[in-house]
A and B are shown apart, each in its own frame.
Chain A
């Protein structure tokens, strides 16, 4: 009975922890797989000082209404920078020029984000190739007038592979392009709002010759992203953002979520240890006579404490064992559940983390709370005075 609390505590801990850690790992994995590990963008972390500031650095007078001199958008000399980055060990890099454009077909219009890419390089830094449902990214290289769009978007515009569409850039340039491939990532925002063309094509459409506005990196070891980003930023001057930095908010939400989870589960185990406390207190009370016999015989206070602590340990141990089994069962059930997250088109299995470390944590915590719960009654047992019992003459 007292074991039930421990069993439930351990089982719930495992189920919740497996889900939380599973979803966290899944989330990070998705991020690592599909988002760049580092993005070098055409911005500066600290905007350059404006000429007015340089001239009148200590001026008491502040000038208002000055138009700041903005950098022409795009990374200057991106090719040399690309080469330098590509030479770093364990790093793959690709240039991207992104801009807004409008697709027109049979009188329908859709705004899209046009990504100008170098297919050969892009394949090394993005999983877009895996998401192609028709054609390949490489097909772009052979078709300078080709375009790849999401299947969702194609369906909305009643287009198929091989059809032509019209792409209009903000500059007013209009081109007729042929759909040579379709992709589907499962994320609606991308499947309906992104298109891929050759970098050269994007450069002419957007009027930015020899420019890219992003360098996208993948690392062999994603967890080196912060270091490598700092290294790149120091060298090229432009802002280099690691995936950790880009998702700092989400990672801190994950952290808060973990804190909440461990608090809830600790509460369950605290309740469970009250159960153990009750049982062992009752046993100590019922066994006062036996305790008195053992003490009169020459057992020391600490021998008796040990007996009841051991009992707590046994309850905690068996409870942990049963709880681990029940928890693994729950995890199996959870792993079989399919859900469809909002903004995603496909159902996915609930991500469950199977690591043995959480079994150890759960069992360790349960044992600890069981021993803690047994501690007070065990002390009480050690402090029993045999004479009090003998005088009582309980037969």
Chain B
């Protein structure tokens, strides 16, 4: 079975005097090597769904399994450990650590995980960055990079611990279309060549064409999946 991520009956309601439903009744199964894109109008709950799938937020009802494990059974530290070892995030805004060099940004999750010995970590980080065309910028801080370069650093960081699933929130959202094409191509490679699952929120129609599968979301519900 190559299913890595599965959601069953997942809803997320923000409690309060006027409860806000972010997503409702999500049924979803994502397999290895799949490139899934989530589309929908602004405010339809795409980011909210991604946070749930990324174990950053907990469902109000329903269940999410990551790599066969029911995430409801995990405590905060175990959730953190699962994010560290099995998930990689690429956010809408690049969210790199401004005071760290490009190399250190990529090393950070590897250092935290500690699976590889330090020299191997460095080797892998350098290889990842070189593969993304950033070999010459290892020691720069993110503020001295272009938007597209920062996006690629974020991708390298997401891949650092060889995650099962890469989650991207509107990756080319703030890029020109040429850079967007590069990112799109990269994510597709990550899925098809490396065999990871990639879930990317986007409203770029080109993405929809590249993806194996497009999930449409309206008002927090999946209206189409395929």
What residues make up the interface of A, taking CB atoms closer than 8 Å to B?
A: 289-290, 292-303, 386-387, 390-391, 393-395
Contact between chains at B93 and A395 (CB < 8 Å): yes
With A393-B92, A393-B93, A395-B93 in contact, do A299 and B80 touch (Cβ < 8 Å)?
A: yes
| B83 lies within 8 A of chain A by Cβ | yes
**Choice from A293, A298, A387, A393 contacting B85 with Cβ under 8 Å:** A298
Across-interface contacts of A393 in B (CB, < 8 A) = 92-93
Contact between chains at A386 and B56 (CB < 8 Å): yes
Q: How far is the CB of B165 from chain A (nearest CB, A)?
A: 13
A105→B54 CA distance, assembly (Å): 106
Q: How far is the CB of A245 from chain B (nearest CB, A)?
A: 62
| Nearest-CB residue, chain B, relative to A295 | B80
A245→B113 CA distance, assembly (Å): 66
| Nearest-CB residue, chain B, relative to A289 | B95
Q: How far is the CB of A392 from chain B (nearest CB, A)?
A: 10
Contact between chains at A300 and B80 (CB < 8 Å): yes
Across-interface contacts of A290 in B (CB, < 8 A) = 97-98
| Nearest-CB residue, chain A, relative to B85 | A298
**Choice from B95, B98, B113 contacting A298 with Cβ under 8 Å:** B113
Contact between chains at A298 and B84 (CB < 8 Å): yes
A192→B157 CA distance, assembly (Å): 88
Contact between chains at B89 and A300 (CB < 8 Å): no
Contact between chains at A298 and B81 (CB < 8 Å): yes
| B175 lies within 8 A of chain A by Cβ | no
Q: Which of B93-139 touch A at CB < 8 Å?
A: 93, 95-98, 108-109, 112-113
Q: Which of B47-100 touch A at CB < 8 Å?
A: 47, 51, 54, 56-57, 76-77, 80-85, 87, 89, 91-93, 95-98
Q: How far is the CB of B51 from chain A (nearest CB, A)?
A: 5
With A387-B56, A390-B47 in contact, do A296 and B83 touch (Cβ < 8 Å)?
A: yes
Across-interface contacts of A394 in B (CB, < 8 A) = 93
Query: How many interface residues does chain B have, given as a range?
Result: 20 to 34
Contact between chains at B76 and A300 (CB < 8 Å): yes
Selected A-B contacts with CB under 8 Å, 17 pairs: A290-B97, A292-B95, A293-B97, A294-B108, A296-B83, A296-B91, A298-B109, A298-B112, A300-B76, A300-B81, A301-B77, A302-B77, A386-B56, A390-B56, A391-B47, A393-B93, A395-B93
Considering the complex of A and B, which 6 residue pairs feature the smallest CB-CB distances, nearest first? A298-B84, A298-B83, A395-B93, A300-B80, A387-B57, A293-B95
Contact between chains at A297 and B109 (CB < 8 Å): yes
Contact between chains at B84 and A297 (CB < 8 Å): yes
Contact between chains at A298 and B97 (CB < 8 Å): no
Which of B83, B95, B97, B169 gathers the greatest number of chain A CB atoms within 10 Å?
A: B95
| Nearest-CB residue, chain A, relative to B96 | A293
Contact between chains at B51 and A387 (CB < 8 Å): yes
Q: A289-B95, A303-B112, A391-B47 are in contact. List 16 more A-B contacts (CB 8 A).
A: A296-B89, A296-B91, A297-B112, A298-B80, A298-B83, A298-B84, A298-B87, A298-B112, A299-B84, A300-B80, A387-B51, A390-B51, A390-B56, A390-B91, A390-B169, A395-B93
**Choice from B56, B82, B85, B93 contacting A296 with Cβ under 8 Å:** B56
| Nearest-CB residue, chain B, relative to A298 | B84
With A290-B97, A296-B83, A394-B93 in contact, do A301 and B76 touch (Cβ < 8 Å)?
A: yes
| Nearest-CB residue, chain B, relative to A292 | B95
Across-interface contacts of B89 in A (CB, < 8 A) = 296-297
A390→B94 CA distance, assembly (Å): 11
Which of A295, A297, A303 gathers the greatest number of chain B CB atoms within 10 Å?
A: A297
| Nearest-CB residue, chain A, relative to B78 | A300
A387→B91 CA distance, assembly (Å): 11
Across-interface contacts of A303 in B (CB, < 8 A) = 112
A107→B116 CA distance, assembly (Å): 103
A296→B54 CA distance, assembly (Å): 8
Across-interface contacts of A391 in B (CB, < 8 A) = 47
A173→B96 CA distance, assembly (Å): 102
| Nearest-CB residue, chain B, relative to A391 | B47
A393→B87 CA distance, assembly (Å): 20
Across-interface contacts of B95 in A (CB, < 8 A) = 289, 292-293
Across-interface contacts of B83 in A (CB, < 8 A) = 296-298
A296→B92 CA distance, assembly (Å): 14
Contact between chains at A299 and B112 (CB < 8 Å): yes
Across-interface contacts of A300 in B (CB, < 8 A) = 76-77, 80-81
Q: How far is the CB of A310 from chain B (nearest CB, A)?
A: 15
| Nearest-CB residue, chain A, relative to B58 | A387
A395→B98 CA distance, assembly (Å): 12
| Nearest-CB residue, chain B, relative to A382 | B76
A17→B85 CA distance, assembly (Å): 53
| Nearest-CB residue, chain B, relative to A299 | B112
Q: How far is the CB of A364 from chain B (nearest CB, A)?
A: 31
A391→B113 CA distance, assembly (Å): 26
Across-interface contacts of B169 in A (CB, < 8 A) = 390
Across-interface contacts of A293 in B (CB, < 8 A) = 95-97
A295→B51 CA distance, assembly (Å): 13
| Nearest-CB residue, chain A, relative to B82 | A298
Across-interface contacts of B54 in A (CB, < 8 A) = 296
Across-interface contacts of A298 in B (CB, < 8 A) = 80-85, 87, 109, 112-113
